[in-house]
Amino acid sequence: MLASGLNGITLRVNGRDHELAVAANVTLLEALRENLGLTGTKEGCGHGDCGACIVLMDGHAVNACLVLAVDASGRDIVTIEGLAEGGQLHPLQQAFLDKGAVQCGFCSSGMMLSAKALLDANPDADAELIRRELSGVLCRCGTYPRVIEAVLSVENGINRSGGEG
Amino acid sequence: MSVIGKSITRVDGVDRVTGRLQYAVDTVLPRMLHAAVVRSTKAHARIQRVDVSGARAMPGVHAVITGQDVPCLIGGMIADQPFLATDKVRFVGEPVVAVAAETELQAQMAADRVIVEYEDLPAVFDMEEALAPGAPLVHEQPSSYRRIAKCQAHDGSNLCHLHEFTTGAEGVERAFAQAERVFEDTFAVPAVSHTAMEPFAAVAVCNPVSGEYTIWAATDAPHRRLSEIAAALGIGSEKIRIIVTAMGGGFGGRGAAIAEMLAVALAKFTDGRPVKVVFSREEVLAASQTRVAAKLTVRTAVTTDGRILARAADMLWDNGAYTSKSPEVAARGGMTVVGPYRVPNISIRSRLVYTNKQPSGAFRGFGTTQTSYACEVHMERIAVELGLDPLEFRLKNGYVEGDSHFCGQRLTGVGLAESLKRAAASVGWGRQKPVVGPGKRYGRGIACMIKGTNTPTVSSCIVRLVADGRLHVLTSSVEIGAGQKTVMSQFAAEASGVTIESVRVSQPDTSVTPFDFGCTSSRSTFHMGNAIRLACEDMRARLFVTAASVFGLPAEGFDLTDSVLSHASGLTLGLREALKKMGARGFEFMGQGTYTPAGSPLLKRDPGNTADDSIFWLFVTHAAEVEVDMETGRVRVLHIAAAHDLGRAINPLNCIQQIEGSVVMGSSLALLEELKLDRGRVCNDSLLDYKISSSEDMPERIDPIIIESDNPEAPWGAKGVGEPAAAATAPAIANAVHAACGVWLRDMPFTPERVLAAIMAQATPEKTVDGHRSS
């Protein structure tokens, strides 16, 4: 603990280390949005019920509102801002656009990061598994059928290079 | 190349998938303060004492305000809602004290120090009890409130608004007296939450010298919100500016100044520092607005061969404690209880009732998620009891091109019959039932509906063709998440003749973008589409006049297509190059368009008729296949075919999103959703307890079917698509459940408990009626 009563932590977010001083009760979600200004991660409920705040922590999808920032110290965090690389959309991002899996977009970061965790662990997930594994992200626009199609299309390689082929 | 009818990728799509869009909750301004709200713990009580001294002494606190500090009443139809409660509270969750502090935590800790003492008053929660003589009054003197002319006050009663319509009382009476058969059913529809994934949020700043407010908000109608807030504050509308942020869904829930009201109230007391209000999910569920709960009694007189002779409806609508748009929901929305049918005799009474509950308001479909459910399950029962095929019964009575709506308007562009036939075909209507597992029953059901749009309303638009060849579209049409910016870009490209890549659609800002009635009533595509068309025609005319003088050619021979300026004489120039030749640096060509359907020949010419006409009518049919578990009562929705007459699909993928999305919402409303109240207190105020459909709960298969029809005033044929789908799903499922196991579901939602109770109450469960034996 620092003299200020705050805790010194190192958050590794999207491949870059950030030294932060945070209170013990600050969540990873608050640290991302307020300390780092990474507002692509959304708060829909604050209780882990809606999945809008899902980020990847060491490759696993976690609700950032349920993780304390101090517990995320030293872990590898990926947010929606880190999904596109080298000026190219990630295949999932491209597929979400092409298949119409984004409407208002408030759940989209949680949805895409959940999908990434799923595909990384299970590159051949079928529609049934995708439906089940993404059920932790609520979408009131009802994009679920489009999301499943988008994730399947990434598996099939249609969007592997961010376009055709 | 035409961009109409093409599934153009969202023009703001990259921002949307990379997390760069700034929603209201993301707004950050220098020196911004954060708010917390102390809310009533009582459903109905007199405020005896408010002690804010403890809160004011807390660290980081800048303002602690009560109702005495902002004696303002707000409401677009009836201004009966205080920003903060003054003498009494009228629902659990009503704002009583607001705090602004350096951080959200400091604001919340200060709010926790506020002491409010109440004297309990008798409360009313049930609509019928509220209307009974001697019931406690939610509002002592409604006539003292500012209100629009059509909302008459009913002092001494909890009746908030009364709407009555009849084609002629005598005719209705005679039809019922002489009819071969009369059917009557009563349905109950609960309050539900819009549950947009982005909670309500707003930031407001007040210039302490000029008294001018700037508000950053996710609102569906910035110009109307501005008027409502200005009227409430008693200041000129020129003193308020609303800048619309990106928006995490709306569904009708952003049709009132919910977070804006609190941000504005605090902003006056913070010395010019901006104040941000963000609702918790609990506040969204328990202390914002709901769909209007309703109790609907529907009576119909028919001949034995299935001709409808008369329809009477007596409807109670729950306003809650304060008034948003519910008078209009009960009135205009209530009229859709007649359904898309030729009915010669109609009598409707709609009563909106004050209760000590969370206020209600607009919800996607504007009354049709309530009325279509009642109408269509009732219609199904009539068909079944008359021994008619439910599809044939609907086709027999359903509107066709050229029919007269009961408002006196001749109907143009009626895709109802096609929607019925195609949805039915998609679920195998009339075919043998597939075999399902032991203890399960299978059924098919169908339901259709009609929805108009608020008429007449106005949309205006300005386009600027700038020197580099881009076309800026200044519009207050809100991108609520449905793809409005993309469709507006398609219209602008098509109408102006620039490529779609050259079009930029603005964010609404009331100080910059011209008036638009709002992103409501499925109206944006139709109304703003027409305004954009007019603005682009205006711009082209100016461009061609200048081109004529610069190039020495007659103006009438010019054309602009795909950003290439050409003339019949053979001149062909890229637009940028042409613009360079045509004006000094900074020279622009502007166009302006205002569209209103007022005076359109498509509208009714029946001045004595008080029923509302509509510049377009949407027709929708959903057909459902379900499997009912006879042991648990669980309804599994196997398939929804959703056929939508939307005029013409400008962007088919966006239309499919709207249709599929509202089927997901519609089945969620049908099977899962209800705000559970205990003496006015919302018990299920989390997304764990208030369950909306996840990917696992949605229908296993959804087939969107786009039906096109002709409306001569529609921009490139497009009517609208946003609202109606959510309404037809529930009755289609209810009717399929009846076909499966013979029970009528007259209360939503169709939870396993409710379905099982109905199955067990059924005297002779084996004598089920198959709702689709012929076709």
pLDDT of residue A3: 79
**B chain contacts of residue A102, beta-carbon cutoff 8 Å:** 10, 13, 16-17
Q: How confident is the model at residue A165 (pLDDT cuts 50, 70, 90)?
A: very low
Closest approach of chain B CAs to the CA of A72, in angstroms? 21
Q: How confident is the model at residue B24 (pLDDT cuts 50, 70, 90)?
A: very high
B717, amino acid identity: G
B467, amino acid identity: A
Nearest-by-CA chain A residue for B200: A44
**A chain contacts of residue B481, beta-carbon cutoff 8 Å:** 103-106, 141
Closest approach of chain A CAs to the CA of B553, in angstroms? 44
d(CA B229, CA B233) in angstroms, rounded, equals 6
pLDDT of residue B472: 98
pLDDT of residue B444: 98
Closest approach of chain B CAs to the CA of A89, in angstroms? 8
Evaluate if residue B772 carries a pLDDT over 90. Answer: no
Q: Mutating which of A13, A27, A103 best tests the B interface, going by the most B Cβ atoms within 10 A?
A: A103
Query: Are B88 and B321 spatial neighbours (Cβ–Cβ below 8 Å)?
Result: no
Nearest alpha-carbon partner for B91 in B320, B362, B292: B320
pLDDT of residue A158: 60
Which of A37, A42, A135 is opposite residue B695, by nearest beta carbon? A135
User: How do residues A84-117 score in pLDDT, each as one tens digit?
Assistant: 999 999 999 999 999 999 999 999 999 999 999 9
Q: Could you tell me where the DSSP H helices lie in B258-389?
A: 258-267, 281-286, 326-328, 368-386
SS3 at position B16: helix
Residue B710 vs residues B279, B412, B417: alpha-carbon distances, Å: 43, 7, 14
Indicate the average pLDDT of chain A.
94
d(CA B527, CA B524) in angstroms, rounded, equals 5
d(CA B84, CA A112) in angstroms, rounded, equals 40
Indicate the average pLDDT of chain B.
96
pLDDT mean over B138-163: 98
DSSP per residue, A32-83: IIIIS--TTS--SSSSSSS-TTEEEETTEEEEGGGSBHHHHTTSEEE-GGGT
User: How do residues A42-68 score in pLDDT, each as one tens digit?
Assistant: 999 999 999 999 999 999 999 999 999
Closest approach of chain B CAs to the CA of A30, in angstroms? 11
**A chain contacts of residue B696, beta-carbon cutoff 8 Å:** 131-132, 135
**Counting Cβ atoms within 10 Å, is residue B551 exposed (0-12), middle (13-18) or buried (19+)?**
middle
Residue A39 and residue B251: Cβ atoms within 8 Å?
Answer: no
d(CA B189, CA B674) in angstroms, rounded, equals 9
Nearest-by-CA chain A residue for B482: A103
Which of B13, B482, B695 is opposite residue A134, by nearest beta carbon? B695
Ordered structural domains, chain B, with CATH = 24-121+198-248+254-286 (3.90.1170.50), 290-454+604-761 (3.30.365.10), 457-595 (3.30.365.10)
Q: Mutating which of B25, B193, B197 best tests the A interface, going by the most A Cβ atoms within 10 A?
A: B197
Ordered structural domains, chain A, with CATH = 7-82 (3.10.20.30), 91-155 (1.10.150.120)
User: How do residues B428-451 score in pLDDT, each as one tens digit?
Assistant: 999 999 999 999 999 999 999 999
Evaluate if residue A164 carries a pLDDT over 60. Answer: no
User: How do residues A2-30 score in pLDDT, each as one tens digit?
Assistant: 878 899 999 999 999 999 999 999 999 99
Query: Are B544 and B579 spatial neighbours (Cβ–Cβ below 8 Å)?
Result: no
Query: Are B448 and B731 spatial neighbours (Cβ–Cβ below 8 Å)?
Result: no
Which of B16, B653, B662 is opposite residue A142, by nearest beta carbon? B662
pLDDT mean over B570-576: 97
Which of B18, B248, B664 is opposite residue A144, by nearest beta carbon? B664
Count CB pairs under 8 A between chains A and B.
Answer: 163
User: How do residues B581-629 score in pLDDT, each as one tens digit?
Assistant: 987 666 899 999 999 999 999 998 788 888 999 999 999 999 999 999 9
For A144-149, the CB contacts below 8 A with 24+ separation are A144/B664, A144/B693, A144/B694, A144/B695, A144/B698, A145/B660, A145/B664, A145/B698, A145/B702, A146/A99, A146/A100, A146/A101, A146/B656, A146/B657, A146/B660, A147/A96, A147/A99, A147/A101, A147/A111, A147/A115, A147/B695, A148/B695, A149/A99, A149/A101
Residue B199 and residue A134: Cβ atoms within 8 Å?
Answer: no
Read off the tokens for B423. Answer: 């949805």
Residue with tokens 């959903």: B622
Nearest alpha-carbon partner for B150 in B335, B331, B352: B331
d(CA B350, CA B370) in angstroms, rounded, equals 13
pLDDT mean over B534-563: 96
d(CA B623, CA B390) in angstroms, rounded, equals 11
**B chain contacts of residue A118, beta-carbon cutoff 8 Å:** none
**pLDDT over 70, % of chain B:** 98
Query: Are B289 and B258 spatial neighbours (Cβ–Cβ below 8 Å)?
Result: yes
pLDDT of residue B585: 66
Evaluate if residue B217 carries a pLDDT over 50. Answer: yes
pLDDT of residue B195: 98
**A chain contacts of residue B656, beta-carbon cutoff 8 Å:** 100, 146
pLDDT of residue B764: 53
Read off the tokens for A70. Answer: 């101090």
SS3 at position B462: strand
Residue A47 and residue B687: Cβ atoms within 8 Å?
Answer: yes
Evaluate if residue B39 carries a pLDDT over 80. Answer: yes
Closest approach of chain B CAs to the CA of A139, in angstroms? 7
User: How do residues B666-705 score in pLDDT, each as one tens digit?
Assistant: 999 999 999 999 999 999 999 999 999 999 999 999 999 9
Residue A40 and residue B20: Cβ atoms within 8 Å?
Answer: yes
Residue B656 and residue A98: Cβ atoms within 8 Å?
Answer: no
**Counting Cβ atoms within 10 Å, is residue B11 exposed (0-12), middle (13-18) or buried (19+)?**
buried
Which of A45, A79, A93 is opposite residue B687, by nearest beta carbon? A45
d(CA B353, CA B641) in angstroms, rounded, equals 36
**Counting Cβ atoms within 10 Å, is residue B27 exposed (0-12), middle (13-18) or buried (19+)?**
buried
Give the CB-side neighbour count of residue A34, counting CA atoms within 13 A.
18
Nearest alpha-carbon partner for B90 in B287, B248, B306, B327: B287
Residue A107 and residue B197: Cβ atoms within 8 Å?
Answer: yes
**B chain contacts of residue A145, beta-carbon cutoff 8 Å:** 660, 664, 698, 702
Q: Mutating which of A118, A140, A164 best tests the B interface, going by the most B Cβ atoms within 10 A?
A: A140
pLDDT mean over B320-346: 98
